[in-house]
Chains A and B, each alone.
Chain A
Amino acid sequence: GALVYQYPRRTICKSGTSMRMECQAVGFQATSVAWYRQSPQKTFELIALSTVNSAIKYEQNFTQEKFPISHPNLSFSSMTVLNAYLEDRGLYLCGAKDSFSNERLFFGHGTKLSVL
């Protein structure tokens, strides 16, 4: 079956430092990877959508300079949160799909980011 492994599951970083999270797709080709953030008490906000052979598209309020994303092949994607501050706390999820899954995303378990 199709699975997405995301790591780390939890991380704590000092204010102003950076942390990187990674996603591995197993059992399918991740032609598109979407990164979401769920801030405390909120819903999932799309940060950016990465599609193979297309430029990565960032949502309003999110930038490449703050959340650089790498999607080098059809099984892997990573995102870094640069200069993390309190407002960056939350659960970060990657969701991936292939060309055939008709909009359904397979999600990892998420990376919970705490900022001290």
Chain B
Amino acid sequence: TQTVSQSDAHVTVFEGDSVELRCNYSYGGSIYLSWYIQHHGRGLQFLLKYYSGNPVVQGVNGFEAEFSKSDSSFHLRKASVHWSDSAVYFCAVSARYGGSGNKLIFGTGTLLSVKP
């Protein structure tokens, strides 16, 4: 069974600050990890993914994430946040689903609030 946990429900930073949103997963085989963003009242937008290779992956809008097998983590980072980055961020892990494909399992989400 693969699960994903996001320990921080809410993170508040000021515009221009760096931020790290945490994600830990349980490992059950081939790993596929991703981050999605949900702006208020809207659907999910893909940010980035890791499947293999370089553990640091770059995403859209200056986001990056680092996969760590030893820590079972896939934390999301941004060096300098903008007010428009305020949203809920979901970490997701892919899990095998009965032989007919994989399903994405989402964490509980972290609300990022960026103050001016």
A→B interface (CB under 8 Å): 6, 32, 34, 36, 42-44, 46, 49, 51, 54-55, 57, 91, 93, 95, 102-110, 112
Contacts and interface: CB of A to CB of B under 8 A. Distances in A.
Contacts, number: 63
B101 A32 contact: yes
A43 B46 contact: no
Contact of A112 (B32, B41, B100, B104): B41
B94 to A, nearest CB: 5
Contact of B109 (A32, A43, A49, A110): A43
B106 A44 contact: yes
A93 B101 contact: no
B1 to A, nearest CB: 13
A86 B105 CA distance: 24
12 contacts: A42-B108, A43-B109, A49-B97, A91-B41, A91-B43, A95-B104, A104-B34, A104-B49, A105-B46, A107-B36, A107-B44, A107-B46
A59 to B, nearest CB: 8
Given A104-B49, A112-B41, A57 B100 contact: yes
A55 B113 CA distance: 42
B69 interface: no
B101 A95 contact: no
Nearest to A94: B43
B25 to A, nearest CB: 14
Contact of B46 (A36, A55, A93, A104): A104
A54 B98 CA distance: 11
B67 interface: no
Contacts of B98: 57
Contact of B107 (A6, A43, A105): A43
